[in-house]
Structure 1
Amino acid sequence: MDPPIPYPTLQTWKSQCHSLDSSLFLLTLPKIELHVHLEGTLTPSLRFALARRNNIPLHSSRLNKDFHTLDELQEAYNLLQPRSVKGRGVSAFFEAYYGGMEVLRTEEDFYELAMAYFDKAKAMNVRYAEVMFDLQAHTRRGVGVETVMVALRRAREDAEKHLDVKSNFIACFLRDQSLESALTHYELLVPYHDIIVGVGLDGNEFERPPMLFDELFKRARRDGLRITAHCDVKQPNTLTNIRQVVEEIGGTGADRVDHGLDAAADASLVQAIKAKGTGMTLCPWAYVRHHTEQDLFGFLRVLKDEQVKICISCDSPAYVEDNWVLQNLSLLRLRGGLTDEELLGAQRDAIEMCWASEGVKTCLREDIHRFCEISSTL
């Protein structure tokens, strides 16, 4: 088996992608982001500030180290080269990701986290976002449901009012927890369905196939919510899991697949995704630690050539060395061979895939139309 992309190569790509941030096309392109984890946007600087405010010590069990300065904390975020910590099925990413949440304690903490993402989204011209969050990861730390959800509702309203960034939330459930826990937390979220458009499945999927949570997905379907689930790259049984998501969960299959890039290795699975019109959210910078360059961009080209609907997003950018949706698009332009027209087409796909109201979709289409008119005159 060929090794994944070497770390020095990734560092070069990162530098080149960030240098493309000033590209007029990429910067002004209206963007739709459908796969971003709120907790994965917790930057070292915000985490450090919240830790001080809440008097919480910063520690990494993976590195066996306490962090006393912001520069020291940054070390815990250098995860492009993975390091396993507790054996098979557990990753350095999850240790850092869940460890970072310890500083999130109050309504104001969650509000600041959400607004920091929306500020970043505004700067990158993200016009609409569907933001995932992990309620179970907070309640198990003693944080109340209202603490999280009131903050998210307030941030959503303020982002639309003050930043002109529209959004909805996707409630994700941890697949390494029980179905019973997922159903209990689903009930706790019923009063907040005004800001939740769908449910998803994330977390460590090692030996936890999506169909274990079929009852949850069927309940969400009955309540009028959309459904999706993560299918991470280079996982055992990943093709089986993708097929479950596409064809089985919720009775008829999901509305979208999160990740699922490895489906490109199975022509029949690609055809099933295409035939059902299932959208896929892809986050290239999240895969560089696991795939070869040939497979990463080759698989994406297969999906594009088969006209599978794709939305390019950023996943957990703070834990992928500060590579946000803009840098994910830059990577596909820089190394993936995607043309500006194909990147524009991905935004059109994302509008059709998103779970916004028809009114919001109309506004997003108008944004794209105006962008094309202006671009044609440059």
Structure 2
Amino acid sequence: MSADPNDFIAGLPKAELHLHIEGSLEPEMMVALAERNGVRLPYADVDAVRAAYNFTSLQDFLDLYYQGMAVLQTEQDFYDLTLAYLRRVAQDNVRHVEIFFDPQGHTGRGIAFATAFDGIEKALRDGADELDITAGIILCFLRHLSAADAMATLEEALPYRDRIVGVGLDSSEQGHPPAKFQAVFDRVRAEGFHAVAHAGEEGPPAYIWSALDDLKVERIDHGVRALEDPDLMLELARRRTPLTVCPLSNIRLCVFDDMTAHPLKMMLDRGLMVTVNSDDPAYFGGYMNDNYAAVRQALGLTNEELALIARNSFEASFLDNATKADYIAEVEAYVRAVQA
């Protein structure tokens, strides 16, 4: 084993549970797709796009994120985007992914639901064959839009129900509490989907409570502000509710001043089921291993703690129990080999 502690991370099997596929749009691909589809971008070249990937708030990021979506127009575009992501994370020994997909960001600009969905799903199937990565799709509602719009999107997705593993809630938290979508998530669960929601990144701990109690979600995406509420911390630990934490995203969006201030280690120490993920890696400057390395270095995480996070990522997934056990066994075998 090399003396470089990041070598342990490089070989560690892991799952990614918090990844917006539209947020994996690298500047080079954005420019290439714009040229392919005749889309005019307000940037002269790739360097100008990359320079624009510099923001100080969630809203600044979202403005750029939705602008970037304009280049995604055909099934082939969504296929290329998704397969490029899979090939990149295969290099980080990511073995399973559950990706977020924002249909309203596409249907709202005239792209058919099927165009986006079919391109993403075909890439996931081909990625499984080429890269041996298992995958699921989580359809997300944009919370800055209405609950009625979310319900209409759910109706449109129902014919694809056997190809969608779960339903989530993302976009800007402020002013859009989870309870706004309670009736929609009642329907989500009635239709048999798993449920997740972004809460407690930009929004307060009360939003995490609401996601748990009003939406009855199985995972909290982000959840880093839970430490502000001791009772919430105890409840998350009691329920073993997985938290899909995205460290580099939290720093780029100024949720915390720097990585040394990130609460991930405190969350681990208090028994929370924490996972590490990349969120929107093209925009936040880091894929999975970059996020693992950043918290290891800043927070002094041990190999044992990193392996725990990796085990959590598989346990928190929506895979069947037998497949979860197989992946966790891969983690255990890797740890034993390193120790030997």
TM-score (norm 1): 0.85
Contact 2:199 2:208 in 1 (8 A): yes
Q: Is residue 112 of structure 1 aligned with residue 80 of structure 2?
A: yes
Q: Is residue 343 of structure 1 aligned with residue 306 of structure 2?
A: yes
Contact 2:260 2:298 in 1 (8 A): no
| Structure 2 partner of 1:240 | 206
**Structure 1 residue 366, shift from structure 2 partner:** 2.5
SS at match of 1:243: helix
Distance 2:217 2:316 in 1: 12
| Structure 1 partner of 2:64 | 96
Gaps in structure 1 of 5+ consecutive residues = 1-19, 60-66, 84-89
Contact 1:246 1:273 in 2 (8 A): no
Q: Is residue 124 of structure 1 aligned with residue 114 of structure 2?
A: no
Q: Is residue 70 of structure 1 aligned with residue 46 of structure 2?
A: yes
Identity of aligned residues (%): 33
Q: Is residue 303 of structure 1 aligned with residue 267 of structure 2?
A: yes
SS at match of 2:138: strand
Distance 1:30 1:21 in 2: 18
Distance 2:177 2:299 in 1: 30
Q: After the TM superposition, which residues 25-40 of structure 1 pair with which residues of structure 2 at under 5 Å, given as runs?
A: 25-40=8-23
| Structure 1 partner of 2:121 | 153
SS at match of 1:35: strand
Instruction: For 1:334, give the aligned amino acid.
Output: Q
| Structure 1 partner of 2:256 | 291
| Structure 2 partner of 1:264 | 227
Distance 2:283 2:13 in 1: 24
Distance 1:266 1:188 in 2: 38
Decide whether aligned partners of structure 1 residues 296 and 186 sit closer, same or farther in structure 2, where only a CA change above 3 A counts. farther
Contact 1:230 1:257 in 2 (8 A): yes
Instruction: For 1:50, give the aligned amino acid.
Output: L
**Structure 1 residue 326, shift from structure 2 partner:** 0.9
Contact 1:30 1:126 in 2 (8 A): yes
Contact 2:14 2:314 in 1 (8 A): no
**Structure 1 residue 255, shift from structure 2 partner:** 0.4
Distance 1:221 1:290 in 2: 31
TM-score (norm 2): 0.95
* Structure 1 residue ranges, 4+ long, deviating more than 6 angstroms after superposition: none
Q: After the TM superposition, which residues 306-325 of structure 1 pair with which residues of structure 2 at under 5 Å, given as runs?
A: 306-320=270-284, 322-325=285-288
| Structure 1 partner of 2:184 | 216
Which stretch shifts more, 147-156 or 167-176? 147-156
Q: After the TM superposition, which residues 122-201 of structure 1 pair with which residues of structure 2 at under 5 Å, given as runs?
A: 122-201=90-169
CA RMSD of aligned residues (A): 1.7
Distance 2:79 2:193 in 1: 24
SS at match of 1:183: helix
Distance 1:295 1:241 in 2: 25
Instruction: For 1:240, give the aligned amino acid.
Output: A
Contact 1:35 1:258 in 2 (8 A): yes
Gaps in structure 2 of 5+ consecutive residues = none
Contact 1:149 1:192 in 2 (8 A): no
Distance 2:28 2:259 in 1: 35
Instruction: For 2:329, give the aligned amino acid.
Output: E
Per-residue Cα deviation, 1:197-219 (whole angstroms, up to 9, x for no partner): 11110011221100110111111
SS at match of 1:177: coil
